[in-house]
Amino acid sequence: MTRKFFRHIFIFFSALFIGTSSLYAEMYTFEDINFIMDIPEGFYLSDMNKERDSFFFESKLMPVKYALKFYSEERYKDPKAMIEDVIAQLSAKGGIEEVNWYGRKCYLSTFQFVMPDQRLYAGWAFSIQVPLKNNPDKKQNVLMLTYADAQISRDCDQYMLSIIDSVFFCQEDFRRPGPVTTFAYPENDAAELILNIGGKTIISSLETDAIDRSKFVLEREYAVLKIYANHEKWKEAWQRYYRQIFRESYNAFDNIASDVYKELLPVAQKANFVCPHMEMLQMLMDWVQDMEYERDREHADFTVPVAAVQGFGCDCDSRSMLMCIMLEHFGIQTELFISREYSHAVFGAALNQNGAAIEVNGTKFVLGETTAKVNFGLIAQEQSDTSKWIEVDLP
Protein backbone atom coordinates (compact mmCIF):
# COMPACT_ATOMS: atom_id res chain seq x y z
CA MET A 1 0.00 0.00 0.00
CA THR A 2 1.54 3.33 -1.05
CA ARG A 3 1.72 6.32 1.29
CA LYS A 4 -0.46 8.31 -1.13
CA PHE A 5 -3.19 5.65 -1.04
CA PHE A 6 -2.88 5.23 2.74
CA ARG A 7 -3.36 8.98 3.28
CA HIS A 8 -6.30 8.96 0.88
CA ILE A 9 -8.09 6.47 3.15
CA PHE A 10 -7.96 8.92 6.08
CA ILE A 11 -9.26 11.81 3.98
CA PHE A 12 -11.98 9.62 2.45
CA PHE A 13 -13.26 8.57 5.87
CA SER A 14 -13.41 12.20 7.00
CA ALA A 15 -15.58 13.12 4.03
CA LEU A 16 -17.74 10.00 4.35
CA PHE A 17 -18.68 10.46 7.99
CA ILE A 18 -19.29 14.21 8.02
CA GLY A 19 -21.85 14.00 10.83
CA THR A 20 -22.40 11.03 13.13
CA SER A 21 -22.18 11.02 17.06
CA SER A 22 -20.83 12.16 20.70
CA LEU A 23 -18.38 10.94 23.45
CA TYR A 24 -17.06 11.63 26.96
CA ALA A 25 -13.32 11.67 27.43
CA GLU A 26 -11.29 9.74 29.95
CA MET A 27 -7.65 10.59 30.50
CA TYR A 28 -5.53 7.46 30.87
CA THR A 29 -2.09 8.00 32.38
CA PHE A 30 0.58 5.43 33.23
CA GLU A 31 2.79 5.27 36.28
CA ASP A 32 6.07 4.26 34.60
CA ILE A 33 5.92 5.88 31.15
CA ASN A 34 5.13 9.30 29.70
CA PHE A 35 2.08 8.20 27.77
CA ILE A 36 -1.41 9.70 28.05
CA MET A 37 -4.61 8.90 26.16
CA ASP A 38 -7.59 11.26 25.97
CA ILE A 39 -9.93 8.54 24.68
CA PRO A 40 -13.72 8.62 24.41
CA GLU A 41 -15.77 7.52 27.41
CA GLY A 42 -17.51 4.18 27.48
CA PHE A 43 -14.73 1.58 27.44
CA TYR A 44 -14.43 -1.05 30.13
CA LEU A 45 -11.69 -3.61 30.80
CA SER A 46 -12.90 -6.95 29.45
CA ASP A 47 -9.71 -9.03 29.77
CA MET A 48 -5.97 -8.96 30.48
CA ASN A 49 -3.19 -11.52 30.47
CA LYS A 50 -1.53 -12.87 33.61
CA GLU A 51 1.69 -10.92 32.89
CA ARG A 52 -0.37 -7.71 32.96
CA ASP A 53 1.17 -6.35 29.79
CA SER A 54 -1.85 -6.89 27.49
CA PHE A 55 -5.19 -5.26 28.22
CA PHE A 56 -8.42 -5.62 26.28
CA PHE A 57 -11.30 -3.16 26.36
CA GLU A 58 -14.77 -2.98 24.85
CA SER A 59 -17.05 -0.01 24.36
CA LYS A 60 -20.50 0.24 25.94
CA LEU A 61 -21.67 2.53 23.15
CA MET A 62 -20.03 1.28 19.96
CA PRO A 63 -19.26 -2.28 18.71
CA VAL A 64 -15.53 -1.52 18.98
CA LYS A 65 -12.76 -3.40 20.76
CA TYR A 66 -9.51 -1.88 21.87
CA ALA A 67 -6.26 -3.55 22.95
CA LEU A 68 -3.22 -2.00 24.62
CA LYS A 69 0.01 -4.01 24.70
CA PHE A 70 3.40 -3.26 26.27
CA TYR A 71 6.71 -4.87 25.23
CA SER A 72 10.28 -4.33 26.41
CA GLU A 73 13.16 -3.06 24.29
CA GLU A 74 14.76 -6.47 24.67
CA ARG A 75 11.85 -8.12 22.87
CA TYR A 76 11.51 -5.56 20.06
CA LYS A 77 14.30 -3.18 19.14
CA ASP A 78 11.89 -0.68 17.61
CA PRO A 79 8.12 -0.13 17.14
CA LYS A 80 8.26 -1.27 13.51
CA ALA A 81 9.49 -4.74 14.49
CA MET A 82 6.75 -4.88 17.13
CA ILE A 83 3.84 -3.96 14.86
CA GLU A 84 5.10 -6.26 12.09
CA ASP A 85 5.37 -9.21 14.46
CA VAL A 86 1.98 -8.68 16.10
CA ILE A 87 0.28 -8.30 12.70
CA ALA A 88 2.00 -11.53 11.62
CA GLN A 89 0.88 -13.35 14.80
CA LEU A 90 -2.71 -12.38 14.01
CA SER A 91 -2.26 -13.66 10.43
CA ALA A 92 -3.65 -10.27 9.53
CA LYS A 93 -3.64 -8.59 6.14
CA GLY A 94 -2.86 -4.92 5.91
CA GLY A 95 -0.36 -2.18 5.22
CA ILE A 96 2.10 -0.54 7.62
CA GLU A 97 3.23 3.06 7.21
CA GLU A 98 5.87 5.07 9.07
CA VAL A 99 4.88 8.35 10.70
CA ASN A 100 7.35 11.04 11.72
CA TRP A 101 5.46 12.42 14.69
CA TYR A 102 7.55 15.40 15.75
CA GLY A 103 10.84 13.55 15.50
CA ARG A 104 9.50 10.26 16.86
CA LYS A 105 9.24 7.25 14.60
CA CYS A 106 5.92 5.50 14.97
CA TYR A 107 3.80 3.30 12.74
CA LEU A 108 0.19 3.08 11.62
CA SER A 109 -1.52 0.09 10.08
CA THR A 110 -4.88 -0.88 8.66
CA PHE A 111 -5.51 -4.58 9.10
CA GLN A 112 -8.03 -7.40 8.82
CA PHE A 113 -7.86 -10.67 10.75
CA VAL A 114 -10.02 -13.64 11.68
CA MET A 115 -10.83 -14.17 15.37
CA PRO A 116 -11.14 -17.66 16.93
CA ASP A 117 -14.92 -17.32 16.51
CA GLN A 118 -14.21 -17.23 12.75
CA ARG A 119 -15.53 -13.69 12.39
CA LEU A 120 -13.56 -11.24 10.26
CA TYR A 121 -12.48 -8.06 12.04
CA ALA A 122 -10.96 -4.87 10.64
CA GLY A 123 -9.31 -1.92 12.29
CA TRP A 124 -6.25 0.18 12.97
CA ALA A 125 -2.98 -0.30 14.83
CA PHE A 126 -0.43 2.17 16.17
CA SER A 127 3.04 1.47 17.60
CA ILE A 128 5.58 3.72 19.28
CA GLN A 129 8.49 3.60 21.74
CA VAL A 130 7.97 5.58 24.93
CA PRO A 131 10.71 6.61 27.41
CA LEU A 132 10.44 5.48 31.02
CA LYS A 133 9.74 8.33 33.45
CA ASN A 134 12.59 7.50 35.83
CA ASN A 135 15.08 6.45 33.16
CA PRO A 136 14.49 8.20 29.81
CA ASP A 137 17.35 6.27 28.19
CA LYS A 138 15.28 3.10 28.48
CA LYS A 139 12.19 2.65 26.30
CA GLN A 140 8.92 0.78 26.44
CA ASN A 141 7.24 -0.40 23.25
CA VAL A 142 3.53 0.46 23.17
CA LEU A 143 1.04 -1.03 20.72
CA MET A 144 -2.58 0.10 20.31
CA LEU A 145 -5.10 -1.99 18.37
CA THR A 146 -8.69 -0.95 17.78
CA TYR A 147 -11.07 -3.02 15.65
CA ALA A 148 -14.67 -3.96 14.88
CA ASP A 149 -16.57 -6.58 12.91
CA ALA A 150 -15.47 -6.11 9.29
CA GLN A 151 -19.08 -5.78 8.12
CA ILE A 152 -19.54 -2.60 10.17
CA SER A 153 -15.95 -1.43 10.63
CA ARG A 154 -16.33 1.48 8.21
CA ASP A 155 -19.14 2.84 10.36
CA CYS A 156 -16.73 2.78 13.31
CA ASP A 157 -13.63 4.20 11.61
CA GLN A 158 -14.01 7.75 12.88
CA TYR A 159 -14.38 6.41 16.42
CA MET A 160 -11.32 4.16 16.09
CA LEU A 161 -9.14 6.86 14.53
CA SER A 162 -10.13 9.27 17.30
CA ILE A 163 -8.87 6.76 19.87
CA ILE A 164 -5.45 6.46 18.22
CA ASP A 165 -5.11 10.19 17.58
CA SER A 166 -5.79 10.93 21.28
CA VAL A 167 -2.32 9.91 22.51
CA PHE A 168 0.26 12.40 23.75
CA PHE A 169 3.38 12.46 25.95
CA CYS A 170 3.30 15.90 27.59
CA GLN A 171 1.60 19.31 27.48
CA GLU A 172 3.62 20.28 24.41
CA ASP A 173 2.25 17.22 22.62
CA PHE A 174 -1.28 18.11 23.64
CA ARG A 175 -0.90 21.39 21.76
CA ARG A 176 -0.12 19.82 18.40
CA PRO A 177 -1.89 17.24 16.23
CA GLY A 178 -1.88 13.54 17.07
CA PRO A 179 -0.14 10.86 14.99
CA VAL A 180 -3.11 10.12 12.71
CA THR A 181 -3.57 13.78 11.77
CA THR A 182 0.19 14.27 11.36
CA PHE A 183 0.31 11.34 8.98
CA ALA A 184 -2.73 12.44 6.96
CA TYR A 185 -1.45 16.03 6.76
CA PRO A 186 2.34 16.26 7.05
CA GLU A 187 4.01 19.66 7.32
CA ASN A 188 3.29 21.78 4.26
CA ASP A 189 4.36 25.06 2.66
CA ALA A 190 3.12 28.29 4.21
CA ALA A 191 1.36 31.15 2.46
CA GLU A 192 1.27 34.82 3.40
CA LEU A 193 -1.58 35.95 5.65
CA ILE A 194 -2.41 39.64 6.20
CA LEU A 195 -4.34 40.67 9.31
CA ASN A 196 -5.65 44.05 10.43
CA ILE A 197 -5.81 44.28 14.22
CA GLY A 198 -5.88 47.40 16.38
CA GLY A 199 -5.17 49.64 13.41
CA LYS A 200 -2.03 47.65 12.53
CA THR A 201 -1.46 45.71 9.33
CA ILE A 202 0.25 42.47 10.35
CA ILE A 203 1.92 40.18 7.84
CA SER A 204 2.15 36.55 8.94
CA SER A 205 1.88 33.06 7.43
CA LEU A 206 -0.24 29.92 7.63
CA GLU A 207 0.21 26.46 6.10
CA THR A 208 -1.65 26.13 2.81
CA ASP A 209 -3.56 23.03 3.88
CA ALA A 210 -4.35 24.27 7.41
CA ILE A 211 -8.10 24.46 6.77
CA ASP A 212 -8.25 20.96 5.27
CA ARG A 213 -6.31 19.54 8.21
CA SER A 214 -8.55 21.24 10.76
CA LYS A 215 -11.70 20.09 8.99
CA PHE A 216 -10.32 16.54 8.93
CA VAL A 217 -10.21 16.58 12.74
CA LEU A 218 -13.42 18.58 13.15
CA GLU A 219 -15.52 16.18 11.07
CA ARG A 220 -14.05 13.13 12.77
CA GLU A 221 -14.62 14.48 16.27
CA TYR A 222 -18.10 15.71 15.41
CA ALA A 223 -18.91 12.19 14.22
CA VAL A 224 -17.71 10.92 17.60
CA LEU A 225 -19.56 13.65 19.50
CA LYS A 226 -22.96 12.81 18.05
CA ILE A 227 -22.85 9.32 19.56
CA TYR A 228 -23.47 10.97 22.93
CA ALA A 229 -26.24 13.34 21.88
CA ASN A 230 -28.73 11.80 24.34
CA HIS A 231 -26.27 10.08 26.66
CA GLU A 232 -25.76 10.94 30.33
CA LYS A 233 -22.16 11.91 29.54
CA TRP A 234 -23.12 14.49 26.92
CA LYS A 235 -21.37 17.25 28.87
CA GLU A 236 -18.07 15.37 28.98
CA ALA A 237 -18.50 14.63 25.29
CA TRP A 238 -18.66 18.33 24.48
CA GLN A 239 -15.58 18.98 26.61
CA ARG A 240 -13.55 16.36 24.75
CA TYR A 241 -14.81 17.61 21.37
CA TYR A 242 -13.57 21.14 21.95
CA ARG A 243 -10.37 19.86 23.55
CA GLN A 244 -9.52 17.92 20.39
CA ILE A 245 -10.20 20.94 18.18
CA PHE A 246 -7.99 23.10 20.39
CA ARG A 247 -5.24 20.47 20.26
CA GLU A 248 -5.17 20.34 16.47
CA SER A 249 -5.50 24.10 15.98
CA TYR A 250 -3.01 25.44 18.50
CA ASN A 251 0.30 25.03 16.71
CA ALA A 252 -1.14 26.29 13.42
CA PHE A 253 -1.11 29.70 15.13
CA ASP A 254 2.54 29.65 16.19
CA ASN A 255 3.61 32.16 13.52
CA ILE A 256 0.40 34.19 13.65
CA ALA A 257 0.47 34.66 17.42
CA SER A 258 4.17 35.54 17.39
CA ASP A 259 3.75 38.13 14.63
CA VAL A 260 0.64 39.65 16.24
CA TYR A 261 2.36 39.85 19.63
CA LYS A 262 5.42 41.64 18.20
CA GLU A 263 3.25 44.21 16.42
CA LEU A 264 0.70 44.84 19.15
CA LEU A 265 2.94 44.85 22.23
CA PRO A 266 4.49 48.32 21.63
CA VAL A 267 1.02 49.77 21.00
CA ALA A 268 -0.36 48.09 24.12
CA GLN A 269 2.55 49.25 26.28
CA LYS A 270 2.00 52.81 25.14
CA ALA A 271 -1.71 52.66 25.98
CA ASN A 272 -1.40 50.67 29.22
CA PHE A 273 2.14 50.37 30.53
CA VAL A 274 1.04 48.71 33.79
CA CYS A 275 -0.98 45.93 32.10
CA PRO A 276 -0.23 45.77 28.36
CA HIS A 277 -1.70 42.26 28.10
CA MET A 278 -5.10 43.68 29.03
CA GLU A 279 -4.82 46.21 26.22
CA MET A 280 -3.77 43.51 23.75
CA LEU A 281 -6.68 41.32 24.81
CA GLN A 282 -9.15 44.13 24.15
CA MET A 283 -7.63 44.78 20.71
CA LEU A 284 -8.01 41.10 19.86
CA MET A 285 -11.60 41.13 21.14
CA ASP A 286 -12.45 44.13 18.96
CA TRP A 287 -10.98 42.33 15.94
CA VAL A 288 -12.86 39.09 16.63
CA GLN A 289 -16.15 40.87 17.37
CA ASP A 290 -15.97 42.48 13.92
CA MET A 291 -15.70 39.11 12.12
CA GLU A 292 -18.57 38.11 9.85
CA TYR A 293 -21.21 36.16 11.78
CA GLU A 294 -22.21 32.87 10.15
CA ARG A 295 -23.49 29.44 11.20
CA ASP A 296 -23.62 26.16 9.27
CA ARG A 297 -26.29 24.15 11.09
CA GLU A 298 -26.26 21.33 8.52
CA HIS A 299 -22.82 20.08 9.53
CA ALA A 300 -20.67 20.58 12.63
CA ASP A 301 -21.90 24.19 13.11
CA PHE A 302 -18.33 25.27 13.79
CA THR A 303 -15.84 27.29 11.75
CA VAL A 304 -12.32 26.03 12.42
CA PRO A 305 -10.09 28.80 13.83
CA VAL A 306 -7.68 28.72 10.85
CA ALA A 307 -10.67 29.48 8.60
CA ALA A 308 -12.04 32.21 10.88
CA VAL A 309 -8.69 34.00 10.88
CA GLN A 310 -8.77 34.01 7.06
CA GLY A 311 -12.13 35.78 6.93
CA PHE A 312 -14.61 32.91 6.74
CA GLY A 313 -17.83 33.53 8.66
CA CYS A 314 -17.88 32.20 12.21
CA ASP A 315 -19.94 31.93 15.38
CA CYS A 316 -19.41 32.37 19.12
CA ASP A 317 -17.61 29.08 19.83
CA SER A 318 -15.20 29.52 16.91
CA ARG A 319 -14.38 33.07 18.01
CA SER A 320 -14.00 32.08 21.66
CA MET A 321 -11.71 29.20 20.69
CA LEU A 322 -9.66 31.63 18.57
CA MET A 323 -9.30 33.98 21.55
CA CYS A 324 -8.18 31.08 23.77
CA ILE A 325 -5.56 30.00 21.23
CA MET A 326 -4.13 33.49 20.79
CA LEU A 327 -4.09 34.33 24.50
CA GLU A 328 -2.51 30.99 25.44
CA HIS A 329 0.28 31.80 22.96
CA PHE A 330 0.68 35.11 24.79
CA GLY A 331 1.12 33.24 28.08
CA ILE A 332 -2.35 34.02 29.45
CA GLN A 333 -4.23 31.07 30.97
CA THR A 334 -7.66 30.64 29.42
CA GLU A 335 -10.77 28.51 29.65
CA LEU A 336 -13.51 27.97 27.08
CA PHE A 337 -17.08 28.09 28.38
CA ILE A 338 -20.05 26.64 26.51
CA SER A 339 -23.74 26.53 27.40
CA ARG A 340 -26.42 24.24 26.01
CA GLU A 341 -29.17 26.29 27.69
CA TYR A 342 -27.91 29.56 26.26
CA SER A 343 -26.73 28.07 22.92
CA HIS A 344 -23.66 30.23 23.36
CA ALA A 345 -19.94 30.21 24.08
CA VAL A 346 -17.57 32.69 25.71
CA PHE A 347 -13.91 32.60 26.70
CA GLY A 348 -12.36 33.23 30.08
CA ALA A 349 -8.93 34.70 30.87
CA ALA A 350 -7.11 34.43 34.20
CA LEU A 351 -6.41 38.15 34.57
CA ASN A 352 -6.81 40.32 37.65
CA GLN A 353 -9.66 42.41 36.27
CA ASN A 354 -13.17 43.28 37.35
CA GLY A 355 -16.13 41.82 35.53
CA ALA A 356 -18.25 38.71 35.09
CA ALA A 357 -16.19 35.68 36.03
CA ILE A 358 -16.35 31.94 36.68
CA GLU A 359 -14.01 30.19 39.08
CA VAL A 360 -12.56 26.82 38.00
CA ASN A 361 -10.40 24.83 40.44
CA GLY A 362 -9.51 27.95 42.40
CA THR A 363 -8.69 30.12 39.37
CA LYS A 364 -10.94 33.03 38.46
CA PHE A 365 -11.56 33.44 34.74
CA VAL A 366 -12.95 36.80 33.67
CA LEU A 367 -15.34 36.29 30.75
CA GLY A 368 -15.11 37.70 27.26
CA GLU A 369 -18.05 38.02 24.84
CA THR A 370 -17.08 37.69 21.17
CA THR A 371 -20.30 38.34 19.23
CA ALA A 372 -21.60 41.57 20.83
CA LYS A 373 -19.64 44.82 20.83
CA VAL A 374 -18.85 44.96 24.55
CA ASN A 375 -15.68 45.27 26.58
CA PHE A 376 -13.90 42.40 28.29
CA GLY A 377 -15.69 41.30 31.46
CA LEU A 378 -19.20 42.12 30.24
CA ILE A 379 -21.77 39.48 29.25
CA ALA A 380 -25.54 39.60 28.83
CA GLN A 381 -27.40 39.65 32.15
CA GLU A 382 -29.73 36.87 30.96
CA GLN A 383 -26.66 34.61 30.52
CA SER A 384 -25.14 35.27 33.95
CA ASP A 385 -26.21 32.04 35.68
CA THR A 386 -22.80 30.40 36.08
CA SER A 387 -24.32 26.96 36.73
CA LYS A 388 -25.41 26.85 33.10
CA TRP A 389 -21.88 27.23 31.72
CA ILE A 390 -19.65 24.21 31.06
CA GLU A 391 -15.92 24.75 31.39
CA VAL A 392 -13.57 23.23 28.82
CA ASP A 393 -10.13 22.86 30.35
CA LEU A 394 -7.29 23.44 27.89
CA PRO A 395 -4.22 21.58 29.27
Please report the DSSP string for 48-106 in residue order: E-TTS-EEEEEESSSSEEEEEEEEETTT-SSHHHHHHHHHHHTT-EEEEEEEEETTEEE
For 24, list phi and psi in degrees, rounded to 5.
Answer: -100, 145
At the top level of CATH, which class does the domain 190-392 belong to? alpha beta
Can you give 44-57 as a three-state secondary structure string? EEEEECCCCCEEEE
Helices and strands (H and E) in the chain: how many:
11, 17
Residue type, 273: F
How many angstroms separate the CA atoms of 122 and 113, rounded? 7
Positions in the chain whose pLDDT score sits under 70: 1-26, 297-299
pLDDT for 32 equals: 85
CATH class, domain 3-184, is: alpha beta
Amino acid identity of residue 300, one-letter, is A
DSSP category for residue 132: B
Query: Structural domain boundaries of the chain?
Result: 3-184, 190-392
For residue 383, the 8-state DSSP code is G
